[in-house]
Structure 1
């Protein structure tokens, strides 16, 4: 498996994002899905990573939005067949490393309470629960987490 920083504007990445959207909308009402669209993912302050297998097939993707205060993990998704192999952990670690180079010393994320595997992964990676941040409202269908790095 290889992790690379790529543009999200590729057909196989569009397919990943469409799978993620279908998954999220199957779990939460539309007003509780805070997904970035393709235009937002193409902004210069967004780092986008793609995990690919040895044959080049896209296994997963994730982004970090770099702000002056923190990096926000967004659009984290790994195809079901590739789960349990460390893909998500490597995607997040790659994004955190790249964002640290850009000056980030804290990372935030918003996810949902019905995603226990994601919550467990984030906890293992050092993320801790916190209240809402940025423009997010406090909501029972949102879980907010933060990781501070030295």
Structure 2
């Protein structure tokens, strides 16, 4: 059994998961194509951070959304420990993050992922994300894939 809860980006369990993600991405991409962000430096109100824990309360996955204040957000730092993959935890994590973002009046989510992360790309596609052009602050990068998902069918409904 797994649980998904909100957590501080500075929690030691989150920092350990993000360090594992950074090691993985550093092996795949050169520094200029690694768009790593230190979530602990963001204002608390602009960050949604969630952790997945197993029945022994070990942190096995995490993900975040940076809220931009304009009704959009950026999915960041999604990672599932390799020993816990294949159990639909990614789908559950994204759904929990999306629900929380929607409750904070976020109507559109965007993300950047690397082209070599095939499982991540498939996860995002299964969850309704579509390929788009680069968005600020990114520039087009042949090693990056940019995606987006509308959380509401009509953006005007998100402000009600």
CA offsets 1:65-99 (integer angstroms, 9 cap, x no match): 11114111000000000111111111111111101
Output the TM-score relative to the length of structure 1.
0.95
| Separation of aligned partners in 1, 2:28 and 2:44 | 28
Aligned residue in 1 for 2:7: 6
Counterpart pick for 1:75 among 77, 87, 90: 77
Unaligned runs of 5+ residues in structure 2 are 153-160
| Separation of aligned partners in 2, 1:145 and 1:38 | 20
Aligned residue in 2 for 1:87: 89
1:54 aligns with 2:70: no
Paired residue total: 150
Equivalent residue of 2:139, what SS? coil
Greater C-alpha Rg: 2
1:104 aligns with 2:106: yes
Equivalent residue of 2:45, what SS? coil
| Separation of aligned partners in 1, 2:50 and 2:139 | 27
Q: CA 1:61/1:41 → structure 2, altered by over 3 Å: closer, same or farther?
A: farther
Deviation at 1:11, TM superposition (A): 1.8
Answer yes or no: is the 8 Å Cα contact 1:8–1:38 preserved in 2.
yes
Aligned residue in 2 for 1:22: 23
Equivalent residue of 1:23, what SS? helix
Answer yes or no: is the 8 Å Cα contact 1:52–1:59 preserved in 2.
yes
Answer yes or no: is the 8 Å Cα contact 1:49–1:61 preserved in 2.
yes
- Report the RMSD for the aligned CA atoms in angstroms: 1.2
Output the TM-score relative to the length of structure 2.
0.90
| Separation of aligned partners in 2, 1:142 and 1:40 | 24
